[in-house]
């Protein structure tokens, strides 16, 4: 096929590669494959992250429909990114992981033959491999690099060779990426969209439009086929995409965290800035490297955002190797001249050195892990049996109290706020609310979905409850509409240490609400909730980002406001606020401090009494004035009779 005219000069290649060069590249590819063979199975566990890992496998095994029954940042293919031993689902995870790596290895192998010389191919292979080798704590496990680099690698090939057919596997993987982890899908889709725009800039003839339409069919066809196979009917695909976008929309303002020990922010900004500078310079010089910079820039921005919002060492080490590997994509296009190739090789080599400086590992681990994973794949039955034996020990540590299990039996149950490992360990009949981990229900739409589930006909009969929250939030003001419906529709029937068992009532504790007060307030001002008599008082608080806050949230992040709770006993408490959800209302008159406060609230209708609340905005990015609406529960709160339990206090029989 003849080369097409373009805005950017094409990179020339030798018509024939010397035999020594071919052998060298084949050896590099073999070494690359051996070093990046992924893990196939990892152990189950308990806790925040292990619980959502277990939930992904439970959702696949139970046929939950993503976007309708199940909403999370990982989609219906997400289980393949965190491989666990869970029946036939694990076999699918192994097949999907192997298939992705075959695509990745193919793109790397072809690109190696586009890199001239002997040192440059070595630097390219080593830098690209950083996203797949064994790093400390296995941060490459979820295959973010394999997925992003596969898409961007094929797109760079399509640009270098002026062969749009190379974009077909990129579109196929990008469509599947949306169903694995939404931000990975956005990164891959963004890179694909940039390539499409570059293609149209060169030629927007009907022939090109037709080819791009076929490429779109591959992208959406891949997405639809995998969704139908691993989630449910296609009419749920749009709700899944909408729910995933909803999760992404508030991530930068509700999930922020800072770890003083992490230097990730400066490194991420530097890498992103270098890529942007490279694009500007290469465009000005009409360099063949410009398309590579353009294709890698959007995925780098997505990785940067995920890191700086949850600014912790773990998030940094999950994204940093991928950003380092993306820099290698300029090398195939830098072979136009000897001087350009040498300069690009030195620059990428320095980036690789800095990559290992901040993401350490050991030579022994890098060399041996791939071989161990290959043996584990060849002896998959034995590997799975060993993991089942390991997981059986973890199950015994998560067994629920006999009193809970006797009551629950085979009835549907949910876990609040997140410890889904109880479902896996006790073989429970899981009927989760859509956002099965409460800290992710941080927008009114997501909170309302879960509230509707708890008050609907398909609500679980039981809830295993823990009074905990992340990031110093108050457990009752994370997904407050959901929590209120739980209080309305459930009784506390058993307790054991930090756990309560809630059972659904025939009728709610109260019906409707009555407005008590509407006031305008501001940050630092104390607000005294009006007395609701024998009922409960709730308040709705309407916060809004300023224009500067919206811009900062788009490019960086905005720390959420705080709530200061003034209790009647004189001991105040400060909590981070899930501020978008406060517009739906939250309980304020009796805010439980601990698990016994929850017991008293469910049993007696009164917990730790509150006399005032105030709000504080450390970021200064919300509008200074906001409206507060106070409401009361309709009628008295009806409480059941009580008996003593191992929690040390009364619960409902």
Span 583-596, mean pLDDT? 95
Last residue of a domain, which of 363, 382, 406? 363
Q: What is the pLDDT of residues 212-251, one digit of tens each?
A: 999 999 999 999 999 999 999 999 999 999 999 999 999 9
* Residue 168: HSE in the Cβ half-sphere, 13 Å Cα cutoff: 6
Asked if residue 406 and residue 348 are part of one domain, the reply reads no
From the list 406, 594, 420, the residue with the least C-alpha distance to 493 is 406
Span 558-582, mean pLDDT? 95
Last residue of a domain, which of 363, 389, 415? 363
In a domain, 8, yes or no: no
In a domain, 60, yes or no: no
Q: Which residue would you say has higher pLDDT here, 450 or 339? A: 450
Q: What is the pLDDT of residues 91-100, one digit of tens each?
A: 999 999 999 9
The total of other beta-carbon atoms located within 10 Å of residue 3's CB is: 10
- 3: confidence class by pLDDT, cuts 50, 70, 90: very low
Domain span at 618: 397-652
Asked if residue 494 and residue 359 are part of one domain, the reply reads no
In a domain, 635, yes or no: yes
Asked if residue 280 and residue 420 are part of one domain, the reply reads no
Asked if residue 199 and residue 104 are part of one domain, the reply reads yes
Beta-carbon contacts of residue 432 (< 8 Å; ≥ 6 apart):
55, 64, 69, 70, 414, 415, 420, 460
- Given a cut of 60, whether residue 643 has pLDDT beyond it is no
Span 505-533, mean pLDDT? 92
Asked if residue 463 and residue 588 are part of one domain, the reply reads yes
Q: What is the pLDDT of residues 469-499, one digit of tens each?
A: 999 999 999 999 999 999 999 999 999 999 9
The pLDDT assigned to 135 comes to 86
In a domain, 304, yes or no: yes
State what percent of residues in the chain have pLDDT above 90. 79
- 315: confidence class by pLDDT, cuts 50, 70, 90: confident
The total of other beta-carbon atoms located within 10 Å of residue 42's CB is: 16
From the list 537, 576, 542, the residue with the least C-alpha distance to 559 is 576
Asked if residue 354 and residue 302 are part of one domain, the reply reads yes
Flag whether the pTM goes above 0.85. Answer: yes
- Given a cut of 80, whether residue 138 has pLDDT beyond it is no
Give the length of the chain.
653
Q: What is the pLDDT of residues 285-313, one digit of tens each?
A: 888 899 999 999 999 999 999 989 988 88
Asked if residue 337 and residue 252 are part of one domain, the reply reads yes
From the list 577, 470, 585, the residue with the least C-alpha distance to 537 is 585
In a domain, 594, yes or no: yes
Instruction: Give the Cα separation of 116 and 133 in Å (integer).
Output: 24
The pLDDT assigned to 361 comes to 86
The pLDDT assigned to 646 comes to 56
Q: Which residue would you say has higher pLDDT here, 340 or 126? A: 126
- 6: confidence class by pLDDT, cuts 50, 70, 90: very low
Yes or no: say if 152 and 299 are a contact pair by the CB < 8 Å rule.
yes
Asked if residue 532 and residue 438 are part of one domain, the reply reads yes
In a domain, 523, yes or no: yes
Start-to-end CA distance of the chain, whole Å, equals 78
Instruction: Give the Cα separation of 408 and 410 in Å (integer).
Output: 6
In a domain, 226, yes or no: yes
Span 185-200, mean pLDDT? 97
Instruction: Give the Cα separation of 556 and 579 in Å (integer).
Output: 18
Span 65-94, mean pLDDT? 93
Span 447-458, mean pLDDT? 96
Asked if residue 319 and residue 430 are part of one domain, the reply reads no
- 462: confidence class by pLDDT, cuts 50, 70, 90: very high
- Given a cut of 80, whether residue 4 has pLDDT beyond it is no
In a domain, 247, yes or no: yes
Span 553-577, mean pLDDT? 94
Asked if residue 401 and residue 359 are part of one domain, the reply reads no
- 534: confidence class by pLDDT, cuts 50, 70, 90: confident
- 635: confidence class by pLDDT, cuts 50, 70, 90: low
Span 436-461, mean pLDDT? 96
Span 159-187, mean pLDDT? 96
The total of structural domains in the chain comes to 2
Count of H-run helices and E-run strands, the chain = 23, 17
Work out whether strand 310-311 and strand 526-527 pair parallel, antiparallel, or are unpaired: unpaired
Asked if residue 401 and residue 357 are part of one domain, the reply reads no
Q: What is the pLDDT of the chain when averaged over all its residues?
A: 91
- 41: confidence class by pLDDT, cuts 50, 70, 90: very high
233 burial class (0-12, 13-18, 19+ CB within 10 angstroms)?
Answer: exposed
Phi first, then psi: give them for residue 37, nearest 5 degrees.
Answer: -60, 125
The pLDDT assigned to 187 comes to 97
Tell me, letter by letter, the H, E, C secondary structure of 123-178.
HHHHHHHCCCCCCHHHCCCCCHHHHHHHHHHHHHHHHHHCCHHHHHHHHHHHHHHH
- Given a cut of 70, whether residue 650 has pLDDT beyond it is no
Q: What is the pLDDT of residues 325-345, one digit of tens each?
A: 999 999 998 867 788 889 999
- Residue-by-residue DSSP string for 593-628: SSHHHHHHHHHHS--SBEEEEEEE-TT--B-SEEEE
Span 5-10, mean pLDDT? 37
- Given a cut of 50, whether residue 82 has pLDDT beyond it is yes
Q: What is the pLDDT of residues 361-386, one digit of tens each?
A: 888 889 999 999 999 999 999 999 99
- 5: confidence class by pLDDT, cuts 50, 70, 90: very low
- 653: confidence class by pLDDT, cuts 50, 70, 90: very low
The pLDDT assigned to 11 comes to 37
- 394: confidence class by pLDDT, cuts 50, 70, 90: confident
Last residue of a domain, which of 363, 385, 411? 363
Asked if residue 567 and residue 483 are part of one domain, the reply reads yes
């Amino acid at each position: 096929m003849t080369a097409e005219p373009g805005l950017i000069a094409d990179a020339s290649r030798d018509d024939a590669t010397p035999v020594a060069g071919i052998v060298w590249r084949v050896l590099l590819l073999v070494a690359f494959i051996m070093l990046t063979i992924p893990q196939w199975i990892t152990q189950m566990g308990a806790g925040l992250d292990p619980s959502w890992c277990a939930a992904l496998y439970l959702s696949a095994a139970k046929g939950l429909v993503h976007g309708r029954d199940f909403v999370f940042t990982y989609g219906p293919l997400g289980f393949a990114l965190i491989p666990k031993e869970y029946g036939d689902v694990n076999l699918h995870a192994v097949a999907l992981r192997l298939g992705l790596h075959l695509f990745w290895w193919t793109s790397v192998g072809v690109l190696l033959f586009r890199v001239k010389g002997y040192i440059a191919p070595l630097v390219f292979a080593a830098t690209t491999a950083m996203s797949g080798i064994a790093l400390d704590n296995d941060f490459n496990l979820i295959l973010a690099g394999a997925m992003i680099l596969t898409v961007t690698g094929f797109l760079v090939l399509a640009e270098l060779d002026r062969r749009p057919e190379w974009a077909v596997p990129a579109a196929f993987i990008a469509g599947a990426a949306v169903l694995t982890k939404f931000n990975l899908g956005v990164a891959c889709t963004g890179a694909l969209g940039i390539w499409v725009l570059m293609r149209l800039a060169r030629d927007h003839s009907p022939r090109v439009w037709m080819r791009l339409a076929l490429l779109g069919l591959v992208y959406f066809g891949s997405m639809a086929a995998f969704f139908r196979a691993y989630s449910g009917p296609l009419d749920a695909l749009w709700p899944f995409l909408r729910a995933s976008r909803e999760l992404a929309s508030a991530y930068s303002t509700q999930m922020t965290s800072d770890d003083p020990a992490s230097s990730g922010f400066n490194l991420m900004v530097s890498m992103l800035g270098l890529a942007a500078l490279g694009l500007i310079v290469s465009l000005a010089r009409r360099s063949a490297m410009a398309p590579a910079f353009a294709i890698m820039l959007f995925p780098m921005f997505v990785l940067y955002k995920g890191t700086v919002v949850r600014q912790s060492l773990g998030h940094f080490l999950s994204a940093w190797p991928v950003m380092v590997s993306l820099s290698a994509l300029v090398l195939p296009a830098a072979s136009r001249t000897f001087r350009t190739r040498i300069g690009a090789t030195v620059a990428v080599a320095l980036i690789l050195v800095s990559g290992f400086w901040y993401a350490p590992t050991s030579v022994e681990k890098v060399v041996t892990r791939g071989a161990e994973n290959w043996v584990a794949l060849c002896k998959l039955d034995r590997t799975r049996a060993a993991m089942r034996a390991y997981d059986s020990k973890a199950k015994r540590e998560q067994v629920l109290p006999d009193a809970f299990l006797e009551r629950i039996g085979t009835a549907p149950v949910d876990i609040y706020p997140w410890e889904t490992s109880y479902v896996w360990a006790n073989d429970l009949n899981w009927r989760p609310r859509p956002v099965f981990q409460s800290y992710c229900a941080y927008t009114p739409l997501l909170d309302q979905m879960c509230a509707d589930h708890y008050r609907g006909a398909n609500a679980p009969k039981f809830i295993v409850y823990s009074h905990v929250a992340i990031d110093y939030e108050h457990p009752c003001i994370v997904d407050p509409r959901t929590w209120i419906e739980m209080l309305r529709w459930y009784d506390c029937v058993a307790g054991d240490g930090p756990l309560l068992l809630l059972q659904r009532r025939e009728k709610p504790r109260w019906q409707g609400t009555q407005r008590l007060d509407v006031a305008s307030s501001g940050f630092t001002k104390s607000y005294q909730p009006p007395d609701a008599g024998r009922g409960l008082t709730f308040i709705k608080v309407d916060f809004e980002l300023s224009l500067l806050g919206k811009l900062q949230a788009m490019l960086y992040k905005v720390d959420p406001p705080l709530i200061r709770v003034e209790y009647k006993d004189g001991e105040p408490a400060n909590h981070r606020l899930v501020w978008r959800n406060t517009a739906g209302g939250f309980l304020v008159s009796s805010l439980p401090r601990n698990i016994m406060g929850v017991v008293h609230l469910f049993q007696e209708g009164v917990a730790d009494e509150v006399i005032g609340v105030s709000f504080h905005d450390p970021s200064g990015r919300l509008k200074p004035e906001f409206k507060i609406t106070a409401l009361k529960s309709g009628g008295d709160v009806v409480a059941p009779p009580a008996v003593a339990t191992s929690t040390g206090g009364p619960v409902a029989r």
